[in-house]
Amino acid sequence: MNIRERWAGLFYRVATGTKTTRTLLTPIGVVIFGLFTAAFVVLAVLLDRALGLRWPIPMTVSEFVSIPMIVIGVAITAWSVFHFAKVKGTPVPFNPPPTLVDSGPYQYARNPMLTGVFLLLFGIGFAIKSLSLVFVFTPLYVLANLWELKEIEEPELLRRLGEDYLAYRERTPMFIPRIRMRK
């Protein structure tokens, strides 16, 4: 059994385990996710300083880009968390909702909360004028989360939710909603 299968198995055992264990591990998951995300911002700022990278975009343009991205990112993330909470679950893989969530933002994308976080990071990059956050660290963050979703979370979701998740995965894009034209 490789490391990916072990992590997916751990997520499955905890997600299907006792309520007490899930509840105790939820804050730990939140802290780990928060620190992981914050590390990308801090590393970007440090790299900008170390390389003496200068922000080439005027501040008014940066504000025009950053404020909507941050607001939309926070709104999508909050909307996503709300829909998990409605079915008595959390976004933390150790304490997920007991059933498939395909309402609210989840009817448009399988991972709208992460889409919101990605927008938030790009917005923060523009707000703090960080070239490396916009062009290096946020794309790396997206790739790291994509890998984790494909290799660990999706196998666990398939194991736990079965055919419901498989059908949902087939009809719903991962991050960016499809634009459907009305006929």
Residue ranges per structural domain of the chain = 3-171
The tokens of 45 are what? Answer: 């700022």
Instruction: Give which of 110, 123, 117, 120 is closest to 174, Cα–Cα.
Output: 110
**Nearest 5°: CA angle at 45, between 44 and 46?**
90
pLDDT per residue, tens digit, the chain (183 aa), is 788 889 888 888 989 999 999 999 999 999 999 999 999 999 999 999 999 999 999 999 999 999 999 999 999 999 999 999 998 888 898 899 989 999 999 999 999 999 999 999 999 999 999 999 999 999 999 999 999 999 999 999 999 999 999 999 999 999 998 877 666
Q: Do you know the residue count of the chain?
A: 183
pTM over the 0.85 mark = yes
Q: Which CATH architecture has domain 3-171?
A: Up-down Bundle (1.20)
7: which DSSP letter? Answer: H
Residue partners of 141: CB distance under 8 A and separation at least 6: 37, 40, 118, 121
The tokens of 82 are what? Answer: 């709300």
- Asked whether the beta carbons of 77 and 143 are under 8 A apart, the reply is no
Tokens 């607001």, located at residue: 71
